[in-house]
Amino acid sequence: MMSTPRPRSDVRGPPPDARLRYPVAGNFMPYCSFCGTALAAADVRFCSDCGKPVSSAKTTPSPDDLATIDYSATATSPLPPRPPSSSSQRSSSRTSASIDYLVSEGRFLPGRLIAGRYRIIALLGKGGMGEVYRADDLTLGQAVAIKFLPEEATSHEGMLERFKNEVRIARRVSHPNVCRVYDVGDVDGATFFTMEYVDGEDLASLLRRIGRLPSDKAVEIARQICAGLAAAHTKG
């Protein structure tokens, strides 16, 4: 009589909810080859559960696949490095051209001295609420961000007074999740204020780069935002 093979102790089996996580083979549901999580589409770049890059669009796993999946992986795994792409390889060569384009759209050119103290380096962004530049504070020897109000706000006495009052309140806020506001001034009829310059990646860029955030990362970002807002509210 043939004996029943004993299960291998070194092979991980599917989790108890595997039947819920994996549909029948006929549905061709793509899944993550690292943690086994079902993917929303076959062309996604990263797994929404473990954050690992999706190298290929696999369909419903076979029994052999289920035996090799690492079920210990969770969303708490560190974010993977950004995979190389043709666009990222060309980004360094386009950096100076991109800055030149942005600066050409702003009111102040690089090298312009503001209030005898701040030297414009580059335009960081612009929108309905004004323009933001990176500049060097020649007095303190540090990088700062300068925001210029839109022209319509500068010419409106009520809006201008409300803005200055907000700056006065913002200068009283000191918190790790709030950019410090330093000074307020005018140049060529344009009102501006200087603030702490943070060299990093904004949330919109992060979402474009990796897609959906792991749940723990999203919660941590939301926690920091709420902490900063709470600090501001305590000052009025």
User: What is the per-residue pLDDT for 38?
Assistant: 66
In a domain, residue 3? The reply is no
Element (H, E) at 155: none
Tens-digit pLDDT profile for residues 9-28: 444 444 444 433 433 333 44
Tens-digit pLDDT profile for residues 148-166: 988 777 777 888 888 888 8
User: What is the per-residue pLDDT for 73?
Assistant: 42
* Total structural domains within the chain: 3
Same domain (yes/no): 157, 186: yes
User: What is the per-residue pLDDT for 100?
Assistant: 41
Mean pLDDT by 10 residues, the chain (236 residues): 46 42 43 64 64 55 49 43 47 40 68 94 88 95 93 79 85 89 88 91 89 93 94 85
Last residue of a domain, one of 43, 77, 111: 77
Same domain (yes/no): 104, 32: no
User: What is the per-residue pLDDT for 17?
Assistant: 43
Distance CA 2, CA 81 (A): 50
Q: What is the 3-state secondary structure (H, E, C) of 78-119?
A: CCCCCCCCHHHHHHHHHHHHHHHHHHHCCCCCCCCEECCCEE
Q: Is 28 left (phi over 0), alpha (psi -120 to 50) or beta?
A: left
* Domain extent at residue 27: 12-77
Same domain (yes/no): 191, 209: no
User: What is the per-residue pLDDT for 106?
Assistant: 81
User: What is the per-residue pLDDT for 10?
Assistant: 44
Same domain (yes/no): 130, 214: no
